[in-house]
Amino acid sequence: MSLKDVFLNNPNRRYIMFGGKGGLGKTTFSAATAYWLAKHGKKVLVFSVDPQASLSDIFKQDIFGKGPVKIMENLWAQEIDADKHIKAYQQEIRQKILDMYGFDKVPEEVDQYIEAASAEPAMEESAIFDAVVDIVIGGDYDYYIYDLVPLGHALYYLSMAKVYDEWINKITHLREEMREYEDMVSRMKRQKETEEDKILSELVYIRKRINASSSILTDREKTAFFFVVIPEEMILIDTKKAAELFAKFDVPIAGYVVNRVVPRELLTQNIPDYLKNRIQMQDTHLKAIDDTLGMQVVARVPEMERDVTGLPMIEKLSKIMFGD
C-alpha cells in the first residue's frame, strides 16, 4: 500500500506523526504531507515540539513561538517555545494559589519554590507536553501533522501520558479520601459541609486533559505513526528497537518511509567509485528492508538534489511521496 493509499483508505486518521532518528527527514516529510493535504482542501496544522526543529527554515518563514502561522491556503505551521509555556505555567500556578487560598499575593517562599521547580530539567518536557495537549484536543483543524523529536525523547513524551495518568489517579484517590475525612469531621462538629474541593477539581481537570490526549495518540482509527528510515545498518537496528518500544505504549505504527535512496540509474553513468559503492551498499540494506518490513514500506524517497526549503521544493517532495 502506498502512502497515498494509507491516507485515502483511512479518512478518519487525522493525527499524523513522523518519527525516527534525528536528521533523517522527519520535518521535511511532515511539511510535505501537510502541503499535500492542504492542496487537497484539508485544513492542516503541522507543528513541532523539537527545539532543534527547522519548520521555520523549511517554510522560509519565522514561526518559532508565534502560535499557528498561516503558510498558504489551508496550511498553518507552529513551533512550540517551551520557555514561553513555562512562564505561562508559572503564572497560572500563582493565580490558582491566590484563588484557592484567598491570598492577596503569593507568599515569598512559595514563589521561590515555583521558580526553583521551573528550573528542573523535566519542566521543559512537561510544558511542551501540556502545549501538545492544548493543540491536539483543540479540534480546530482537519489534520494535525506532528513532527516528533528524535526517538529517545519521543518515547519519553509518549510515555508521559501514561505516567501522568497513573500519578494523577493516585493523587486524586488520596485527595478523595481526605475529602471524605474532612466531611466526616465537619458532620461530627455539626459544621456545614466543606466548600467545593478546588484541589480535587483541578486534579480531575488535569486527568481529563491527559486522558483526552492519550486516547488520541493511541487510537488506531484516528492516529497514524510513520517511521522515517534510511538504508543504513545502524539506523535499521535502532528503528527496530524503537518500534518494539513504541508498541509497548500502544502507538499505532502505520508504515515506514525510506528516505535518501540514491537512484540506481546513476550506475549507467560515469560516476565516482564511492558513489557506486554507496549504491551497492544501499541495495543490500534495501533488500533487508523489503525482507523485514515488506508491505509496511509505504514510500521510497530518492536523495534530493538540494535541501527541501521553500514551497516549490516542498511541492516537489510531496509529489514524490504521494505519487501525484
Q: How many domains does the chain have?
A: 2
113 domain residue, yes or no: no
- Angstrom distance (rounded) from CA 294 to CA 74: 34
Average pLDDT over residues 55-59: 93
- Which residues, in sequence order, are CB contacts of 125 under 8 Å at separation 6+? 153, 156, 157, 160
Q: Tell me the CA distances in angstroms from 146 to 16, 78, 168, 178, one per residue in order.
A: 6, 10, 25, 40
Same domain for 179 and 38, yes or no, is no
Same domain for 47 and 187, yes or no, is no
Residue type, 14: R
pLDDT score of 29 more than 70? yes
pLDDT score of 150 more than 70? no
Same domain for 192 and 60, yes or no, is no
pLDDT higher at 191 or 186: 186
Same domain for 180 and 293, yes or no, is no
Bridge partners, residue 109, by sequence: none
Same domain for 71 and 189, yes or no, is no
Same domain for 291 and 198, yes or no, is no
Residue range 211-245, pLDDT digits in tens: 776 677 778 889 899 999 999 999 999 888 888 88
- In terms of pTM, does the model score above 0.85? no
Domain of 201 in residue numbering reads as 171-208
